[in-house]
Amino acid sequence: MSIQSVLTNLVLRWQFKRGSRGPLNVAAARHKVDQLARRYPPPPASVRHTPVPADPARGLCPAEWLSVAAPKRTVLYFHGGGYFFCSLATHRPTCAYLARTAEARVLSVDYRMAPEHTCPAAVDDALAWWKALLTDGTKPEDVVFAGDSAGGGLALATLVAARDAGLPLPAGAVLFSPWCDLSCSGDTMQTQAKADVMFNPHLLPEAAALYLAGRPATDPLASPLFADLQGLPPLMIHASRHEILLADSTRLHDRASVQGVRSELHLKSRMPHVWPTMLMLPEARRTLADCGRWIAQRTEAARPGARPLS
Amino acid sequence: MKSFKDKVAAITGAASGMGRTLAVELARRGCHLALSDVNETELVRTAELASAHGVRVTLRRLDVANRADVFAWADEVVRDHGRVNLVFNNAGVALTVPVEHARIDDFEWIMGINFWGVVHGTQAFLPHLKASGDGHVVNTSSLFGLMAIPTQGTYNATKFAVRGFTEALRMELEMEGACVSATCVHPGGIATNIAMAGKVDPAMERLTGATIEQHKRRANKMISTTTAESAALQILAGVERNARRVLVGPDARFLDKLVRLLGARYQALVIRQMRKLNRRKAS
């Protein structure tokens, strides 16, 4: 565990966890992360940043490309934020880093969020972008989905929705601490409540209620943990052993494995929720490098004529 | 590994001691089992105890010193269970003999089981653990893999070797970012049949005047600090928190600290204790 992660844990515990002891405040949370994102440096010169405005004619929400000069593959990225906060800007550095490690062009999707737009608006937006990529000639075997937290859940829900719609599926999905059970029934919600440096457990059901807007929390579009996972492409899951959402990752891995989906579970101790997105941590940079390699391997392996991985 | 439910674990030396209690405890937590041992009769008994918890249990008579057999077993486990998440390289034997009198065939016998058995088990299962997406190698060293004791030179050699091998493996897996981890277990005195089933060289009779049987009984009395059931719980807790090193029992925890505090000078203390013990026995 690096000195950076020790310090980050302390700051998160003081700023994030202590500051969110009361009821959920959507406006305050959005304001805080937007202020923070303003201070992020722009993407490095080797990564081109291209905003894409919404295209109501094709039903597309806004998005942005972060691409290396000669991308070999595509990553469709969904940012986290409990389906109600965070934005393209907050996750731009992470997407730019992933673009470099995966030698890819990353499309980060600005899907509609709660409380203004409720489930399944986010899944509709994600699926619309997947269809658009396919229509524009992107080969599904050259694409990997990725997402963190709610974005990880959204990536998984989009895989399920795409399979059910009979669309081709990408070569895999990389999920950082995915939030895939909005009923918050994982045992680590209680057992890791003290150890988690970011979340007070009471906030998650509140955020879930905003997004669900009366839908059952076990609806597979909102909580893809409960979906039929058969036929999904390989998953690479990263989570912390000390976060309340740990059980979402472990249960997803176990369910996927039992249903014949190739899944890798990578756990690290004493790290904050979605730590791979925190680029100041050496652990995050290492993990994003691992993810880049995995994405490259998956897309190579999925190409027609490629030897199947043992 | 956070939970053992619906995982698949392979355990060597599962017919008795910690192998058996690990099997039963894992079964209680819903983990499917592939068990092996040279002693088939007792292995069947372990399987009965474990399958009472409703998990799938497969058995194989196995000498862990035989590399080809261990690799064949690993393939068989994946064929039977579809995957394998954990391997407990637990099988081990004891040999009491001063270094000067250690016969090479005895030395090769204990090396074959305690050290090469761990190597074969690790290498045979590692690709399958990686394929499972969530794997763990659990290798059993000993308190005597942290400190040496007179008459245990051969045993010490096997257990120090397991420790070095496992710690290197753990670091390699971490650097690689693999979805597999490794834990080295150092039990202190655990009430198992290791002393009674182990070998005491006839040279010990000449050197101390006590019979082989007396030696075994004395050793057996000394290792009853921790029960095998408690040892299994401590080992599994270590795997759950992904510990690099698990010290089992208060004796292991205390002596580990002492050795680290004193450095190589712990040996003087051991000599003094051994002399005191021998005088007490003589009188």
- Written as one string, the DSSP assignment of B124-190 is HHHHHHHHHSSEEEEEE--GGGTS--TT-HHHHHHHHHHHHHHHHHHHHHHHHT-SEEEEEEEE-SE
Residue A309, pLDDT above cutoff 50: no
Average pLDDT of A209-213?
96
Instruction: Identify the CA nearest to A151 among candidates A124, A167, A182, A175.
Output: A175
- Burial of A258-275, coded b for 16+ CB within 10 Å and e otherwise, reads eeebbbbbbbbeebbbbb
User: In this complex, which of B2, B133, B242 lies closest to A257 when CB atoms are compared?
Assistant: B133
Distance CA B113, CA B94 (A): 10
User: Tens of pLDDT along A64-120?
Assistant: 999 999 999 999 999 999 999 999 999 999 999 999 999 999 999 999 999 999 999
pLDDT tens column, B126-144: 999 999 999 999 999 999 9
Residues of B in contact with A192 (CB under 8 A): none
Q: What is the mean pLDDT of chain B?
A: 94
Pick among B1, B7, B134 to test the A interface (most A CBs inside 10 A): B134
Q: Is the pLDDT of residue B99 over 50?
A: yes
- pLDDT reading at A232 higher than 90: yes
Q: Averaged over A139-165, what is the pLDDT?
A: 98
**pLDDT score of A310:** 42
Rounded CA-CA distance A305/A202 in Å is 50
Superfamily of domain B8-282: NAD(P)-binding Rossmann-like Domain (3.40.50.720)
Question: Under an 8 A CB cutoff, do A264 and B6 touch?
Answer: no
Catalytic residues of A, by residue number, are 149, 243, 273
Q: What is the 3-state secondary structure (H, E, C) of A210-244?
A: HHHCCCCCCCCCCCHHHCCCCCCCCEEEEEECCCC
Name the catalytic one among B155, B170, B195, B200: B155
Bridge-based pairing state of the strands B226-227 and A235-240: unpaired
Secondary element (H or E) of residue A51: strand A48-52
Looking only at the bridges linking them, the beta strands covering A73-78 and A143-148 are parallel
- Residue B270 sits at the chain A interface (C-beta within 8 Å): no
Q: In angstroms, rounded to a whole number, what is the distance separating the alpha carbons of residues B53 and A36?
A: 52
pLDDT > 70 in chain A, percent: 98
Mean pLDDT of chain A: 94
> What is the Cα gyration radius of chain A?
18
C-alpha separations of A2 from A284, B23, B246 in Å? 11, 36, 22
Residue A306 has pLDDT above 90, yes or no: no
Residues in chain B within 8 Å Cβ distance of A310: 127, 131
Give me the residue spans of the domains in chain A: 3-302
Amino acid B182: pLDDT: 98
The stretches of chain B forming alpha helices (DSSP H) are: 17-28, 40-51, 67-81, 104-110, 117-132, 153-176, 194-197, 203-208, 212-222, 228-240, 250-262, 266-282
Q: At A15, list the tokens.
A: 């700023």
The domain A3-302 having CATH identifier 3.50.50.60: the answer here is no
What is the C-alpha separation between B61 and A56, in angstroms, rounded? 67
CA dist., res. B185 & res. B92, Å (int): 13
CA distance A257 to chain B (A): 8
Cis peptide before A168 (omega within 30 of 0): no
Residue A42: how many CB atoms within 10 A of its CB? 10
* pTM metric for this prediction: 0.83
Residue B283 has pLDDT above 80, yes or no: no
Q: How distant is the Cα of B179 from the closest Cα of chain A, in angstroms?
A: 5
Report the distance separating Cα B140 and Cα A41, nearest Å.
49
pLDDT of residue B282: 65
A307 pLDDT band (50/70/90 cuts)? low
Which tens digit of pLDDT belongs to each residue from A262-275? Answer: 999 999 999 999 99
- Is A266's CB within 8 Å of B241's CB? no
* B242/A250 CB distance under 8 A: no
Asked if A257 and B242 come within 8 Å (Cβ–Cβ), the reply is no
Report pLDDT digits (tens) over B212-252: 888 888 888 888 889 999 999 999 999 999 999 999 999 99
Whether the complex's predicted ipTM is more than 0.95 is answered with no
Lateral strand order in the sheet of A48-52: A48-52, A63-67, A104-109, A73-78, A143-148, A172-176, A235-240, A263-268
For residue B262, report the phi and psi dihedrals to the nearest 5 degrees: -90, -15
Residue to test with chain B: of A264, A285, A293, A295, most B Cβ within 10 A = A264
Give the per-residue pLDDT at A157.
98
Per CB-CB distance under 8 Å, the chain B contacts of A254 are 3, 5-7
Collapsing DSSP to helix, strand or coil, B14 comes out as coil
Q: State the smallest CA–CA distance between residue B255 and chain A in angstroms.
A: 27
Q: Which residues pair with A29 in a beta bridge?
A: none
A8 touches chain B (CB under 8 A): no
- Is A242's Cβ below 8 Å from some Cβ in B? no
pLDDT digits (tens, 9 = 90+) for B31-73: 999 999 999 999 999 999 999 999 999 999 999 999 999 999 9
Distances (CA, A) of B202 to B96, B156, B207, B208: 10, 19, 9, 10
Looking at residue A82, its pLDDT comes to 96
User: How near does any CA of chain B get to the CA of A49, in Å?
Assistant: 29
Instruction: Tell me the residues of chain A between 256 and 285 that have a Cβ less than 8 Å away from chain B.
Output: 257-258, 262-267, 269
| B contact test, residue of A189, A229, A257 with most B CBs within 10 A | A257
Q: At what angle do helices A150-164 and A121-135 cross, to 10 degrees?
A: 60
Say yes or no for a CB contact (<8 Å) between B133 and A263: yes
Dump pLDDT digits (tens) for B156-191.
999 999 999 999 999 999 999 899 999 999 999 998
Q: Does A49 touch chain B (CB under 8 A)?
A: no
